[in-house]
Amino acid sequence: MGTGAPVPASAGADRYPEYAQETAMSQKAQSREAPEPETPHLDFAGTTPYEDYVKADVLTHLQHTLSDDPGEMVFLVTTQVMELWFTVVVHEWETAARALRSDDVPAAMAALKRSVRELEALDASWKPLSGLTPAQFNSYRGALGEGSGFQSAMYRRMEFLLGEKSASMLVPHRGAPRVHAELEKALHEPSLYDEVLRLLARRGHAVPDAVLNRDPAQRYEPSPEVEEVWAALYAGDESDELARLGEVLTDVAELVWRWRNDHLVATRRAMGAKAGTGGSAGVAWLEKRARKNVFPELWTARSRV
């Protein structure tokens, strides 16, 4: 029986020919290893390719604080980061809506699944502001003037894609023609959920004509018949493509609710029940928003399964 002691290299070659062969192969492999990487390319005629693609210099010079409080910088950067995430999520949902119009459910689901990860990152953006005290917020709140998050055009496009349409929300953007035109276009286009319901109808499900032919510029209202369609899908084969689409949409809806709720909590902690900077009811307005379900029948249908 062996002792388990290591075999000396000198003895290995004589007593264990296979050991000598392995050693030679190992040394040969090491000799073929790639050399240490050379210094990366550092000299460019103009800006770096990274800068050309990312525009980092532009992004990192967009922060212009309006107070002397050092905490304003994190508030400003966090808000700008949220705007970038809004932009990505809108891109994903518009991609999903186009895919649904073409009956390409896999492509739609891929975009929606990407948006789930992006919504998680968006929600995490509240972390730097989640412990903001009233005194800390008040130290630079005046710099915001009448500025408020509900004036965000990209966030409004997110809401429109969710079916939360409101023509009055275009009013703050009348002074920005391009932004106003984009929002007006989004207002009159079918929402993401409209495209889902049209797909269900094309697949033979009894979505009522009143839902299919409604004015897309109006806020979506829940339908008992649509609830019945989702209940039937959930009571059937869970591997069905449309049932799986419903679950991905539910993931999206849940994360939107979490974002709204975290917004509410951060605001309540920073300013209590005071009026919002943009003239809204502040926390009361956010509480109302947090109570609204996105894709409502996907939630109510569960009680019938």
Binding residues: 141, 263, 277
* Rounded Cα distance, 249 and 115, in Å: 10
- Residue stretches of the annotated binding site for heme: 263
Q: How far apart are the first and last CA of the chain?
A: 66
* Rounded Cα distance, 257 and 96, in Å: 20
* Rounded Cα distance, 135 and 148, in Å: 19
Residue with token string 């409502």: 296
- Residue stretches of the annotated binding site for substrate: 141, 277
What are the backbone angles phi and psi of residue 225, rounded to the nearest 5°? -70, -40
Residues 125, 257: contact at Cβ < 8 Å?
Answer: no
* Ramachandran bin of 10, using left for φ above 0, alpha for ψ from -120 to 50, beta for the remaining angles: alpha
Residues 103, 235: contact at Cβ < 8 Å?
Answer: no
